[in-house]
Amino acid sequence: MKGIDYRILLMAASLVSAAPARQAPNPHDIPVMDGEAGACSVAFTVTDMNGTPVYDARIRVHIEYGFAGVRRLDLEAATNIDGKTQFKGLPRKVKGGTLYFRAAQGKREGSATYDPEKSCGGESDSIVLTENKN
């Protein structure tokens, strides 16, 4: 058996140490959830009743589309530190015509509707979270 070639080990160690360090993600980058089912998009800003942005609010939507609504898609996205998130790749024609987005964070919740046939080009909407009494 041959001995270990220390030159190779030294070269491998130098390559690992030269790798760029991972940067922390920018908390102001807007998260984007891509449904990959069409060209429509909608952006949301989630706030509390005082107008303060809500971080890490979860927004969910159930989509039925295609012939007779046989295709189904469940999407979820969280808000950034500014209370913003975006859904893209949404189908233009959906069963029922309107999508219902539900947002929640802790005991607070809110909702918004979006009609992709009327405003497929990238509408922005806001969701105000209120305290759930249950």
Task: Tell me what the pLDDT averaged over the chain comes to.
Answer: 88
Predicted structure pTM score = 0.80
Is the pLDDT reported for residue 34 higher than 80?
A: yes
Angle, alpha carbons 67-72-74 (nearest 5°): 155
pLDDT category of residue 23 using cuts at 50, 70 and 90: confident
Strands 99-105 and 84-90: unpaired
Is the pLDDT reported for residue 7 higher than 90?
A: no
What are the domain boundaries of the chain?
A: 27-131
Query: Which residues on neighbouring strands pair with residue 64, listed in sequence order?
Result: 72
The rounded distance, in Å, linking the Cα atoms of 30 and 41 is: 14
pLDDT category of residue 15 using cuts at 50, 70 and 90: low
**pLDDT in the model for residue 10:** 57
Concatenated DSSP letters of 63-98: EEESGGG-EEEEEEEE--TTSEEEEEEE-SSBTTS-
Domain 27-131 CATH class label: mainly beta
pLDDT category of residue 1 using cuts at 50, 70 and 90: very low
Of 26, 62, 59, the residue nearest 45 (C-alpha): 59
Tokens 């998009």 found at: 41
The rounded distance, in Å, linking the Cα atoms of 46 and 98 is: 20
DSSP 4: P
pLDDT digits (tens, 9 = 90+) for 59-114: 999 999 988 778 999 999 999 999 999 999 999 999 999 999 999 999 999 999 99
